[in-house]
Amino acid sequence: MLFSDIASHLRLSFVGKDVEIDSMNELSLSSPSQLAFAVHKRYSLELKSSKAKAFLITNSLIEHLPLDSSYIVCEDVSLSMAEATKLFSKKPLEPQLPNAVIGQECYIDAIAKIENGAVIGSSVTIMAGAYIGTNVTIGDNTTIYPNVTIYRDCVVGSHCIIHAGTVIGADGFGFSHTKTGEHVKIHQNGNVVIEDDVEIGANCAIDRAVFNSTIIRRGTKLDNFIHIAHNCDIGEHSLFVAQTGVGGSTKLGQNCVVSGQSAFSDHLSIAPFSTFTARSGVTKSITQSGGVYSGFPLMNHREWKRLQAKIGKLND
């Protein structure tokens, strides 16, 4: 797709060369063939070092563009970005793709559905009512329980277990907003990657990324009723207890332990070997490894216990 086509779709003009664009991405991760965007001046350094050749920006960021960049000046970059994502959104089904490739010694129930383009490894079990979408890849020795749904382009590793009712790759909850209060969908054009030896409980939801991948790294175990939002990165060998949720683009290091009904805000970075007791509310990044935390607002677990003891004495 040409940059001029994107400008036409946005009903805006562009400056610079009419370059070929194949997808969208974040500033720091963009390649020369991708469209990037910058909303605030705080991204000026990332803008200067970006490898992208085409940008959606505000007037105030023109001076920070890399040399020989093409760009569209937007009144509302967030809104224009949302409208542009529609151009790169794939159809849910592509029946023209080759039939699914299925490895040896698999059990696939007669009422499981596997779309064209999927690749299934050896010794995989897929039970009744499961749906495996277009271009999904599943590794060897993985078990998919009844009524699991895996949307297109997602990747599931080897030796994984995914329990009944879980949905992998549904759209992340992303919208831009007009001045008159309408909500414009940000099309979620990435995928979900589940690495090897991951177990996911019943009725979990792991959302696909806006760009790139939502990642559940190897050895991680998720209990039932857990929500992992778009673009999250869950470190290897982490443990999540039931009814926990992680906001978009939050990254947890390896071996984190998250107890029941805990919640994480978006765009956080959590150090490895962090432990959160039940109903923890995490709203700030954690940089020091090995801590144990409780409560909302979040605090060191020992401080939280002392506070609870003092509160208990108020009734005496």
Domain ranges in the chain are 3-88, 101-304
Q: Is 151 left (phi over 0), alpha (psi -120 to 50) or beta?
A: beta
pTM: predicted TM-score of the whole model, two decimal places: 0.94
pLDDT of amino acid 92: 94
Q: Looking at the domain 101-304, which fold is it? A: UDP N-Acetylglucosamine Acyltransferase; domain 1 (2.160.10)
pLDDT of amino acid 316: 63
pLDDT of amino acid 313: 80
Per the DSSP assignment, residues forming a β-bridge with 34 are: 23
Write the burial class of residue 287 (CB in 10 Å: 0-12 exposed, 13-18 middle, 19+ buried): exposed
Q: Please state, in angstroms and rounded to a whole number, the distance separating the CA atoms of residues 281 and 303.
A: 15
Write the burial class of residue 59 (CB in 10 Å: 0-12 exposed, 13-18 middle, 19+ buried): exposed
Contacts of 153 (CB under 8 A, 6+ apart): 90, 133, 134, 135, 136, 169, 191, 208
Distances (CA, A) of 187 to 181, 209, 272: 19, 9, 31
Contacts of 172 (CB under 8 A, 6+ apart): 186, 188, 207, 208, 209, 210, 214, 229, 230, 231, 248
Supply the angle between the helices 77-85 and 3-10 in degrees, to the nearest 10: 110
Q: Domain 3-88 carries which CATH code?
A: 3.40.1390.10
Residue environment code for 177-194, b if the CB has 16+ CB neighbours within 10 A, otherwise e: eeeeeeebebbbbbbbbb
The parts of the chain modelled with pLDDT lower than 70 are 315-316
Write the burial class of residue 223 (CB in 10 Å: 0-12 exposed, 13-18 middle, 19+ buried): buried
CB 174 within 8 A of CB 186: yes
Distances (CA, A) of 299 to 227, 272, 282, 292, 293: 23, 17, 9, 9, 6
- Active-site residue flag, 40: no
Residue-wise pLDDT for 35-75, tens only, equals 999 988 888 889 999 999 999 999 999 999 998 999 999 99
Query: Active-site residue among 177, 187, 230, 237?
Result: 230
- Structural element, H or E, at residue 307: helix 301-313
| SS3 assignment, position 296 | coil
